[in-house]
Amino acid sequence: MSAASKITLGMAVTVSTAIIGYVHYKQSADRLKLHDGVLRDVEQQQRRKHENTYALQQQIDITKQLKAQETSTPDKNLVSEPAPCKCKCCTESLGRPTSLAGCSKQPQQKQHQQARAMESGGEEEATSGAPTRKDEI
């Protein structure tokens, strides 16, 4: 075997060994990176879980405080339901009185307000709006 062929064979074996070694090293490094990513994801999930638990506990505490305030203060914050509208159009169309907000005759809303004002005895509120005919109410 000549010297040139021995050198060529030695170089080919060396380069092949280097390539195989590099591929194995790179594969190991990639596996470590992937494993580190999984660990980061687990840490993130745990951190989010703790943050959500903390936020939930704060909401529970605030709810308890609000309930304590509700029981200690009068019921002036409660919203009462509107009085039923007893206009002819509401009573005739539905067969029962309905609230002004639930009235199917939206263009006649001023008339409904005036009729309710007259029923409650508020003459000035009834005349403050647009003039109406008594037979329409």
**pLDDT tens digits for 91-135?**
665 555 555 555 555 555 566 666 666 666 654 444 444 555 555
Question: Considering the entire predicted model, what is its pTM?
Answer: 0.37
What is the DSSP code (8-state) at residue 135? T
| 99 sits in which H/E element | strand 98-99
- The chain-wide mean pLDDT, for the chain, equals 77
Instruction: Assign 98 to helix, strand or coil.
Output: strand
- CA 116, CA 119: separation in Å to the nearest integer? 5
Domain chopping of the chain, boundaries: 3-72, 84-128
How many C-alpha atoms does 43 have within 13 Å on its Cβ side?
6
